[in-house]
Structure 1
Amino acid sequence: MSSQILIVDDDPLILKGAWNILTEAGMKAAVLKSGLMIQDYIRDNGAPDLILLDISMPDMDGFEVLKELRKTEEKGKEIPIIFLTANEDEDTESKGLSLGAMDYIRKPFIPSILVLRVRHVIELVTLQRELGSEVERKTREIEQLYLNVVSSLADAIDAKDAYTNGHSARVAEYSREIAKRYGFDEEQQDMIYMMGLLHDVGKIGVPDEIINKPSRLTDEEFAIIKSHPVIGGRILSNIKGMPMLVNGARWHHERYDGRGYPDGKAGEDIPLEARMIAVADAYDAMSSNRSYRGALPQEKIREEIEKGKGTQFDPQFADIMLAMIDEDTDYNMRDKHE
């Protein structure tokens, strides 16, 4: 596919000469007499691969055109610019390059030099875009691999308890939905999803016989269960590139009124993400089967979350969870594992 070049100059002879040279070299070219026409051209035809832009024009000079492109047009921010100028002043060249132009071509230009410089810029920009796409692809692959590893770890944690099948994944999904409704962007939503998957990672350090005990736990056994946020926080603190992961694991059992564990944090001293996960975790615990009871009716869960507003739960996240419950008229947000 040949490159699309846009030539912008108020001199008809320059436009005709440049158009002839580039089309004879196998490139597609279009011409405009004024920089004021570029925005309309891009809107109607899409962004060109390169703009050859004259500096000295009567309505808008090339510098003003470039500033407007970079400021107002999303596509315009990426279009490479080569300035055309008869001015050999070094300050003019320096100004253009500082604004983001990729090159200068002196007028009147030599046909072979024009073609070579245009091809050089297009090849360079194409290479940059290909490298950028490859980096993005590799980044997505790494992120997906990391998510797969984390999901497998979450499944391994849940497998310690026969009655928590899929618990971590559901908490992650509910937490992400709460974050979305709260206004988090996609990157923040992905992070809280990851935190939800790993919120119970500390249960790795809790003996299976305690986790699966069907009868009431002793005080000593409950103290061991209550150690899992500290263990989880310590495990995740080793992931230096994602320090926020600790927040969900260590503080999802804190209460808004300060009567939670392990640190007795209260209110907004509890990390925001942990307050979201706390509501999601409590909801899934109530809507899931346990060794000592079945899943609670939806109305009962709603009642308990309403009751916990401002005491167990941050009121704003409790309200978001209540809205999610009210929208779930068929009670699909629950553990369907028998």
Structure 2
Amino acid sequence: MAETILFVDDQKIYLDYTRELFGNRGLAVMTAASGSEALRIVNENIIAVIVADNQMPGMNGLELLAKVKEISPHTVKVMMTGSADLATTLSAINNGEVFRFVVKPWKDAEMVKAVKDSIRRFRILQSLKREDEFVLHSLAQTIELKDACTKGHCDRVATIALQIAAKLGLSEGKQEEIKFGSWLHDCGKIGVPEAVLNAPRPLTEMEFELVKNHSVWGCTVVRKANLSETVQNVVLYHHERYDGRGYPSGLQGKEIPLEARIVAVADVFDALSVDRPYRKKLSREQIIETIDGMRNTHLDTEIVNALFAVIGA
């Protein structure tokens, strides 16, 4: 399947020319005349490369590409820029916000090379992504071996979290990062003794304080692995409570990143749905009643509503 390239410029003459230039090069070409139109296209399509003019009314190119990074992190970004904006564009490249640039008015050979390099970059990122999925999933399964009662927990949490995220209208890119975060949310438990994880009784205060460290330990792991901020937020904050009485930072309400609030709800749902050493799993009715009672204390009520919509409660 041909990769899709999106050109964004408020001047129709450039859009028409680029469509003609790349129309017979084995690429699917799309165009947008504004930043808002481009964001709609990125939300609805897999875009390999976006080439955006910087000087546009309303939303400029740098603002657009920053939003694209959130929606579709693997889309490769190219800036069309005038000579007056060259310093700004070079700074964006140095900061990793832009992959290539072409100076307007550009020469065909320069634009073609920039797009070819970007397509190559996109294909490399896709290969790395597939490899990363295998590695990250394997890591999650390895961690679960420490706790026999949580076998399959990370996969189930990811499944529910993705359904909630879709219900809330989050982008595919954000959903993918939430999936990775769900797989790895308990990765810090690698540092917790198995005797504590598998204790057939409620934990002592000292043991619980030890277990609470797993979110910070886990975040250190994913940060060193250069995983995204979304993944880090899930691992670090999935035990924060909506009323501010969670850990490790005592964040409250919307201070807790949305992705962590989503995984917290999915985590609780799965935990109540399986047997644990110190209690039996709850019935469906008991699960719904328990989670309903956790609104605005442990959990965000909007996300609880999304969960109930997903499971048909």
TM-score, with length taken from structure 1:
0.60
Shift, 1:283, TM fit? 0.5
Confirm or deny: 8 A CA contact 2:273 2:281 kept in the other structure.
yes
- Point out where structure 1 has 5 or more consecutive residues left out of the alignment: 1-34, 40-46, 52-68, 79-96, 104-120, 328-338
> Is 1:71 aligned with 2:57?
no
| 1:135 counterpart letter in structure 2 | R
- Point out where structure 2 has 5 or more consecutive residues left out of the alignment: 1-11, 24-30, 39-49, 52-101
> Is 1:242 aligned with 2:228?
yes
Shift, 1:234, TM fit? 2.5
| 2:136 counterpart letter in structure 1 | V
Once residues 264 and 98 of structure 1 are traced to their aligned partners in structure 2, the CA distance between those partners, rounded to angstroms, is 48
| SS of equivalent to 1:144 | helix
Residue of structure 2 in register with 1:308 after alignment:
294
Q: How large is the Cα RMSD of the aligned pairs? A: 3.3
Q: Which aligned pairs between 1:24-43 and structure 2 lie closer than 5 A?
A: none
Q: Which aligned pairs between 1:1-338 and structure 2 lie closer than 5 A?
A: 71=33, 102=107, 131-240=117-226, 242-326=228-312
| Larger deviation, residues 198-207 vs 169-178 | 169-178
Shift, 1:230, TM fit? 2.0
| SS of equivalent to 1:237 | helix
Residue of structure 2 in register with 1:54 after alignment:
none
| SS of equivalent to 2:148 | coil
| 1:213 counterpart letter in structure 2 | A
**Higher relative contact order, structure no. (Cα contacts within 8 Å, ≥ 6 residues apart):** 2
Residue of structure 2 in register with 1:22 after alignment:
none
TM-score, with length taken from structure 2:
0.64
Identity %: 36
Q: Relative to structure 1, is the Cα distance of residues 163 and 71 closer, same or farther in structure 2, using a 3 angstrom cutoff? A: same
Q: Relative to structure 1, is the Cα distance of residues 147 and 264 closer, same or farther in structure 2, using a 3 angstrom cutoff? A: same
| SS of equivalent to 1:308 | coil
Shift, 1:131, TM fit? 4.7
Shift, 1:282, TM fit? 0.3
Once residues 228 and 158 of structure 1 are traced to their aligned partners in structure 2, the CA distance between those partners, rounded to angstroms, is 14
Q: Relative to structure 1, is the Cα distance of residues 241 and 294 closer, same or farther in structure 2, using a 3 angstrom cutoff? A: closer
Shift, 1:292, TM fit? 3.1
Shift, 1:232, TM fit? 1.5
Once residues 71 and 258 of structure 1 are traced to their aligned partners in structure 2, the CA distance between those partners, rounded to angstroms, is 44
Once residues 302 and 316 of structure 1 are traced to their aligned partners in structure 2, the CA distance between those partners, rounded to angstroms, is 15
Q: Relative to structure 1, is the Cα distance of residues 184 and 215 closer, same or farther in structure 2, using a 3 angstrom cutoff? A: same
Shift, 1:319, TM fit? 0.7
| 1:280 counterpart letter in structure 2 | A
Confirm or deny: 8 A CA contact 1:305 1:322 kept in the other structure.
no
Once residues 142 and 262 of structure 1 are traced to their aligned partners in structure 2, the CA distance between those partners, rounded to angstroms, is 32
Shift, 1:289, TM fit? 2.4
